[in-house]
């Protein structure tokens, strides 16, 4: 399947949340907001309250449901994966009701986009849980990943690459913020909640140079090479194959080094590699989110994973059993990315679609304090 892409900002239309009708901002400042991301491998939800330029998490949920299991071969969501997902969504529905959440965005991504019975499954979800999930486009998924990472952008950054490694796809967005004053760069990126084409405001706009959605994530890439028995050979093939899918991406073709360049990676793969680098036996988001790693440090962790072998990775506390089957395909994507771009450092983001959904809703409602990112 070919990557979905768009060169320049003009190909995308503005997007505004139409899930719920507008209400006076004053009545929303204390409201709870929810964001649910149903991906190829996991179902995750956050319930949060606006606080300053961000939010305070009130409740959360995360479960590996493996919705995309078997999708690569059959093109359909299996009966077992749908049942697991329904069970997880019932728990989410209970949390939403218990917390009396009024504002929410509930989305599904690559697995439901690709499955021939994806839309049918969405209708079943509504019948059995009362939740209405929307299958979002790759463009929207990339947009949400970008705005979730806005608070991590350095004031010195002029060219930004945001990478979101998912279960079924990987989104990359290249943004030029060289024309934006340093103090306004995070805020300018945050305003992308209206789409990659920004309205004219008093803050200069971040310019989206190019974006791409590669239909290869940790689950789908693993499935492509499941017949290769040798661990190291499978890893090398996955990394090469992913890089081959980047050749149409404009920044990949650039031979000129980019000044003041920053790459931000957001995914379970990136945070797991970071946790392994830090030697954490128990995951600690406060130590991982916002840290940076060099290419050499990333390679050292990956070589350690390869030396462990499948059984060693399963028992490693930094990886965990749920992640162990997917970590090498994710590491193959990460290594390919670091090989391609003009930097030897990666910023780690323990945030993604859920945070992007929350920021988008709160920013659209005007309940975030500007200038505090």
Q: Is 11 part of a structural domain of the chain? A: no
Same domain, 157 and 75: no
Same domain, 99 and 163: no
Same domain, 199 and 303: yes
Structural domain count, the chain: 2
The CA distances from residue 141 to 112, 155, 162, in Å, are 13, 25, 12
Residue 368 Cα to chain centre, angstroms: 22
Same domain, 128 and 193: no
Number of H helices and number of E strands within the chain?
Answer: 15, 12
pLDDT value, residue 233: 96
Same domain, 125 and 74: yes
Q: What is the largest CA-CA distance in the chain?
A: 60
The CA distances from residue 83 to 12, 42, 86, 202, in Å, are 35, 13, 5, 49
Same domain, 145 and 60: no
* Average pLDDT of every residue of the chain: 86
pLDDT digits (tens, 9 = 90+) for 1-28: 566 654 443 333 333 332 333 334 444 5
> Whole-angstrom Cα distance, residue 332 to residue 241?
9
CB atoms within 10 A of CB 286: 8
Structure tokens at 234: 């499978």
Which burial class, exposed, middle or buried, applies to 214 when counting CB atoms under 10 A from its CB (0-12, 13-18, 19+)?
Answer: buried
Domain with 120 in it: what CATH number? 3.30.420.40
Q: Is 18 part of a structural domain of the chain? A: no
Quickly list H helices, the chain: 71-74, 79-98, 110-114, 118-129, 138-148, 185-190, 218-224, 231-244, 250-253, 268-278, 285-288, 295-315, 321-324, 327-340, 353-365
The CA distances from residue 163 to 27, 40, 114, 217, in Å, are 35, 17, 21, 11
The arrangement of strands across the sheet holding 170-176 comes to 4-7, 207-214, 170-176, 159-165, 261-266, 345-349, 292-294
Same domain, 326 and 199: yes
The CA distances from residue 158 to 35, 146, 192, 258, 337, in Å, are 30, 15, 16, 9, 19
Q: Is 57 part of a structural domain of the chain? A: yes
- Determine contact, residues 92/132, Cβ cutoff 8 Å: no
Structure tokens at 187: 């805020």
Splitting the chain (373 residues) into consecutive groups of 10 residues, what average pLDDT does each group show?
50 33 47 96 95 90 93 94 98 97 95 96 97 94 88 90 93 90 83 59 74 92 93 96 88 61 92 95 91 96 96 91 91 93 88 90 82 50
pLDDT value, residue 4: 60
Domain with 345 in it: what CATH number? 3.30.420.150
Pick the closest to residue 159 from 262, 76, 25, 228 (CA basis): 262
Q: Is 17 part of a structural domain of the chain? A: no
pLDDT value, residue 271: 95
Q: Is 364 part of a structural domain of the chain? A: no
Domain ends where: 136, 167, 198? Answer: 136
Which burial class, exposed, middle or buried, applies to 281 when counting CB atoms under 10 A from its CB (0-12, 13-18, 19+)?
Answer: exposed
pLDDT value, residue 259: 65
Q: Is 214 part of a structural domain of the chain? A: yes
Which burial class, exposed, middle or buried, applies to 63 when counting CB atoms under 10 A from its CB (0-12, 13-18, 19+)?
Answer: middle
Domain span at 76: 31-136
Same domain, 180 and 311: yes
Same domain, 245 and 345: yes
Same domain, 223 and 80: no
Same domain, 245 and 221: yes
Which residue shows structure tokens 């089957």? Answer: 325
- Determine contact, residues 111/68, Cβ cutoff 8 Å: yes
> Whole-angstrom Cα distance, residue 84 to residue 111?
14
């Amino acid at each position: 399947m070919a990557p979905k892409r768009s060169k320049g900002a003009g190909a995308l239309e503005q997007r505004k949340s139409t899930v719920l009708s507008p209400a006076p901002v004053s009545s929303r400042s204390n409201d709870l907001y929810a964001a649910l991301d149903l991906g190829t491998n996991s179902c995750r939800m956050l319930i949060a309250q606006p606080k300053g330029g961000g939010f305070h998490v009130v409740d959360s949920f995360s479960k590996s449901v493996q919705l995309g299991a078997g999708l690569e071969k059959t093109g359909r969501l299996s009966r077992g994966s749908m049942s697991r997902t329904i069970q997880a969504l019932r728990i989410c529905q209970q949390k939403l009701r218990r917390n009396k959440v009024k504002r929410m965005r509930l989305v599904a991504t690559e697995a439901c986009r690709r499955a021939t019975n994806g839309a049918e499954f969405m209708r079943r979800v509504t019948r059995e849980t009362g939740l209405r999930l929307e299958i979002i486009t790759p463009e929207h998924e990339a947009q949400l990943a970008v705005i979730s990472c806005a608070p991590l952008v350095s004031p010195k950054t002029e060219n930004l690459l945001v990478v979101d490694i998912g279960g079924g796809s990987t989104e990359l967005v290249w943004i030029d913020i060289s024309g934006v004053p340093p103090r306004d760069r995070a805020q300018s990126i945050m305003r992308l909640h209206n789409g990659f084409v920004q309205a004219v405001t008093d803050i200069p706009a971040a310019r989206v140079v190019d974006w791409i959605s590669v239909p290869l994530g940790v689950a789908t890439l693993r499935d492509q090479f499941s017949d290769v028995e040798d661990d190291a050979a499978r890893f090398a093939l996955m990394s090469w194959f992913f890089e081959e899918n980047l050749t149409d991406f404009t920044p990949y073709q650039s031979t000129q080094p980019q000044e003041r360049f920053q790459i931000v990676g957001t995914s379970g793969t990136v945070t797991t590699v970071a946790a392994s680098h830090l030697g954490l036996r128990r995951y600690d988001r406060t130590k991982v989110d916002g840290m940076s790693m060099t290419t050499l440090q990333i390679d050292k962790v990956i070589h350690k994973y390869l030396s462990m072998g499948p059984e060693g990775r399963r028992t490693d506390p930094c990886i965990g059993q749920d992640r162990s089957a997917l970590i090498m395909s994710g590491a193959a994507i990460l290594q390919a990315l670091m090989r391609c771009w003009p930097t030897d450092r990666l910023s780690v983001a323990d945030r993604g679609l859920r945070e992007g959904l929350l920021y988008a809703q709160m920013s659209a409602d005007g309940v975030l304090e500007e200038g505090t990112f």
